[in-house]
Chains A and B, each alone.
Chain A
């Protein structure tokens, strides 16, 4: 009776969509709004007894999980499965996903659960409802992968790959692509193993031929599996990396370049620093001209000026013939040292000290001043404070010396950092100190203004 009346009322009310939470006037959604409303004994339809019980059960499971009480959670879960029989169609549709999410979580952590239990559970859950087949298959495969059962994982992925329901929705398609890509990754994995075996074999060996034949077959299958996904905007680092490796192995340099260019420069993709790193590494392997390498790293520099490849970038720029590259080389060094995580990077300081001196010797004072102008307000307290002088000298004397030289060149010999370091007495570094003082005296940009 109650069901019937519900059905009658349903189309008329607007707030009907079975939304899990109610939105407030500002458009913001508050998951805790329901709790407030329930606290006032308002009219409105009371939830059915079963609905109340299931939601209480769900709370118990979540609570037990967050307290890492796997056994208790499992016991509640046992009862919660009843929710799959809910007469409320809205809830019945949503239930399998919740059951799967919580169930898989419990089985992952439960000390007594085994792969077999997980398999059984996953296989059952896949076939309840239709919306979750692909997702569950993918997660099932990942679970098996994690437990080192690559073949089982491959089997699950193969099953899922061919599964279709109704009209293909775009979300379904992406999932299918993802499943294929993971399958491709598995194939890559076995290919890689074969490649390793192959490298151990003698080329004239009979076995070599069969093995390489095998590998060829693999590669062909894998490329099909991988290349669809990596054309969809996203972050696909592991897939791209393995795909490139295989393409390169079979000498398809153009194909690899195209994939990488697309991955790095397609505007629909997020600006992923790794895309540029992969492209750069590829070009480096290909022995591309320096000009080309610089142009790739220039873009990476714009995205991530703190990347560790920037030191390599600086070296490339330094070796370049163009004056603008030399200028950029200085900029890159300053850029690296702007970041909090790089303040103790000895190589960067070493490069900067050397290059700064070199630049000033080459009478490019304007370059230095251009870089320094935007930094002179904060670098002194960021890098060259008395605190850092003391702590750098205590922790790393070489670093302190390099920094002192830079400080002296940029701020003059009056600066706190330089003064503190130059006052220190150290036998081994004596010569270096002397040199440092001389350089500062001669090239400091503060002196030159006078």
Chain B
């Protein structure tokens, strides 16, 4: 194989990251990369023609990508933001503001909203100090408090910092009694766990590596223009969809028929596809499972294998050389190779990072040009490991350090083998390595010395990269780079055969989903914000295809967002725009805006995310039950009492007053309100939509305009009576910026049916992730299982008891277990006829054991409850299905 006969000059210096004395010669790359030296034999300099490709540009058809598929029916919530996690007050005199986790606010919110969970066990401990029944305590001991009295004292006072709350003697006694326990145990036990959790969420917000590699794949079909998009769907991203799409160079892609669906038990994080020796394979990574499908030439998937990774899988790659071979890495530092012949084989294990110590447990593995050599990467570097050699040995391919003139704090985020894509493509020995600052190309024959370094300047983590074949022979290969925040960059890589790989021209940025906002119709602020949030959802998948050859090469780009939306954009190649040509600004076509309107309509029909839990309302109804309702006739009408009991708006008839001729106008928006709303709407360019809606809602009641008139006549006489009650939903004012507060939406907590089996009453409505924290917390508390009082208290205790033994599993050190496979014939199965499912091992607590990768047998048990059209090779139900709930629950505390 050709090796570049002359490599670009570079300094080689060993040392740690950010060594200040190393001159960074990477400035020799970038555009200067095109500045080829006169080659050692000066004749060579004439034929190198970097000028030709200097002005290579892919032009988008439209100013932004368009939705390809209608939005899914499940609500989506943007999740946590820095606002939810960070301390909002700042140190006045700090030059740079710092990120400080706001534990105090979260803990107080938790104590307030989940007081029962926080204090119930303590209450049980203090049981002997309370007197629950009987108003009059005759006890001589001063340490017994009557609960009823205490409640009476507290009654009505909102303890939320109410400065006028009256402190009774009893309360004082209670606080003296409870303080030592309440302050230390709750705060210290919970605070620690909470801090840990917050730190975890914060890290996740900064870098969510779960979707590294991307969950969108393009499986080419039999004809060059046809293919399938494979992506996860649904609120929990646990339905794998196979959507047939046909691409033509002239028009937008056509979506054919309904997608095939496979329901999995866990969110899909990564979808990988490869065609090896004419066989298309599809590998899917979930948090704890990996699956492999074979896609027939008709495009129907047949399951081959499901692997369970207890410690959590971080990466999966399919071999470009041998059909059906794949490599999986787990958080325990184990890398396993699976193939049909050899089954599962551990080829590498190192819980430590490669170059220096880094706390991240993210691992990655990919193939190289040699089918038996793999790359194993972590945040600090990438190593080549020979699977046939002695375990653990290998050469470092990339080292986070002075060799690549890495900066301080620089870490590897993605490594990818830029494998073989045909005869005209780049060398199959090249590997792409992305960090948060730069992009490196490394040749595996010259380890440690990057052949190319480019500062990408992306504003979020680049976790997705796709290399495409050259759109036309002789042209450079497009390399797409997508960051989590949605930014897209397209680089042109050239260097076939004996020349060194280099960038052709300056990389270009492509429109993001947020750029499509202008294609949508004008909206009132609330919906506008919702749309904006949706378009800003992180990018979790990227796929691209080049439809059959046309006069100018066309690139179809698909992206998947965390909200489950698939967007599409077409780009045309403009190889030689001439010296003065400026890209004519692309504009929206009527079809595009129509498409966006349809999509938006469907989106607005999707209900908003119900809150994961509702703040308890501290009902005193039970206490009220103690008082006999006094029958007082006349003074307080029945209607009034009913309205009070139901907590609804008091109407005139409730008060027993007959509507009179000169009644005051019904509560309705005052003119000031309407004006301000309209202004607000106009401010957000939504005036037209607002007006539409306003007119629509007025048309219904019919008499409103009239009333309005009278209202003005009455002028200010009744202004004090007017209130804003009867507003239609659409015209309601935009939520306050603080709308993320969960208490703001007192709706009943939603508990998915799958949860009910395993969850205790106390846990209902508590996000699944947090339940573990709560369990941990409760397990730490000194509990007494035999307390007689309080059924609810007892029930809240059980899960912690149940949860504890699961953590006592002796860590099995990295055993690799392989169970016999079932005897389903491979390959010949049809989608509609077959319903294979992988049988579950008995449900187990999901406490991960160390590095066990278990291979499960394939079976052919049919599953009755599946829809007939879909095949259901489900991932096992090892966990309580709580992942179904939500992907990123808002933290309630």
Contacts and interface: CB of A to CB of B under 8 A. Distances in A.
A111 interface: yes
Interface stretch (B20-28, B293-301, B471-479, B856-864): B20-28
A109 interface: yes
A118 interface: no
B813 interface: no
Contacts of B28: 142
A129 to B, nearest CB: 16
A385 interface: yes
Contact of B42 (A178, A189, A374, A382): A189
Nearest to A8: B93
A255 interface: no
A175 interface: yes
Most buried by A among B97, B206, B369, B446: B97
B57 A306 contact: no
Contacts of A340: 320-321, 369-371, 419-420, 428
A66 B360 contact: no
A240 B388 CA distance: 37
A246 to B, nearest CB: 11
B506 A69 contact: no
A142 B35 contact: yes
A239 B35 contact: no
Given A105-B506, A109-B54, A341-B428, A45 B95 contact: yes
Contacts of A268: 12
Contacts of B22: 171
B206 A233 contact: no
A9 B9 contact: no
A228 to B, nearest CB: 13
B653 interface: no
A271 B9 CA distance: 14
Contacts of A22: 96, 98-99
Interface string B277-304: 1110000000000000000000000000
Given A26-B359, A45-B94, A238-B39, A32 B409 contact: no
Contacts of A269: 12
Contact of B86 (A42, A171, A235): A42
Contact of A44 (B6, B92, B370, B445): B92
Interface string A180-192: 0100010011001
Given A40-B86, A146-B35, A340-B369, A270 B448 contact: yes
Contacts, number: 279
B11 A232 contact: yes
B675 interface: no
Interface stretch (A13-21, A75-83, A404-412, A426-434): A13-21
B31 A108 contact: yes
B32 interface: yes
A172 B420 CA distance: 41
B506 A15 contact: no
A38 B82 CA distance: 9
B78 to A, nearest CB: 13
B52 to A, nearest CB: 14
B506 A109 contact: yes
Contacts of A171: 21-23
Nearest to B279: A387
What interface size band does chain A fall in? 35 or more
Nearest to A142: B35
B202 to A, nearest CB: 8
Interface residues of B, number: 106
Contact of B38 (A37, A101, A189, A245): A189
Given A13-B94, A29-B410, A234 B11 contact: yes
Contacts of B97: 37-38, 42-45
Contacts of A193: 42
Interface stretch (B169-177, B181-189, B578-586, B843-851): B578-586
A101 B369 CA distance: 36
A339 B407 CA distance: 34
B117 to A, nearest CB: 28
Contacts of A178: 9, 11, 25
Contacts of B489: 66
B82 A40 contact: yes
A145 B38 contact: yes
Interface in B48-83: 54, 57, 81-83
User: B10, B41, B371, B508 — which one has the most chain A CB atoms within 10 A of its CB?
Assistant: B371
A420 to B, nearest CB: 14
A388 to B, nearest CB: 7
A68 B57 contact: yes
A235 B95 CA distance: 42
A236 interface: yes
B37 A145 contact: yes
Given A43-B89, A66-B509, A171-B23, A139 B371 contact: no
A66 B30 CA distance: 13
B521 interface: no
Q: Which of A31, A175, A188, A385 has the most CB of B within 10 A?
A: A31
Nearest to A172: B23
A306 B369 contact: yes
Given A26-B359, A109-B31, 10 more contacts: A25-B203, A29-B409, A31-B459, A37-B82, A40-B82, A68-B508, A181-B9, A236-B9, A270-B449, A306-B445
6 contacts: A42-B90, A111-B580, A189-B42, A235-B12, A271-B446, A307-B3
Interface of A: 6, 9-10, 13, 15-16, 19, 21-33, 35-45, 62-63, 65-69, 71, 101, 104-105, 108-109, 111, 135, 139, 142-143, 145-146, 150, 169-172, 174-175, 178, 181, 185, 188-189, 192-193, 232-239, 241-242, 245, 268-274, 277, 303-304, 306-308, 338-342, 374, 377-378, 381-382, 385, 387-388
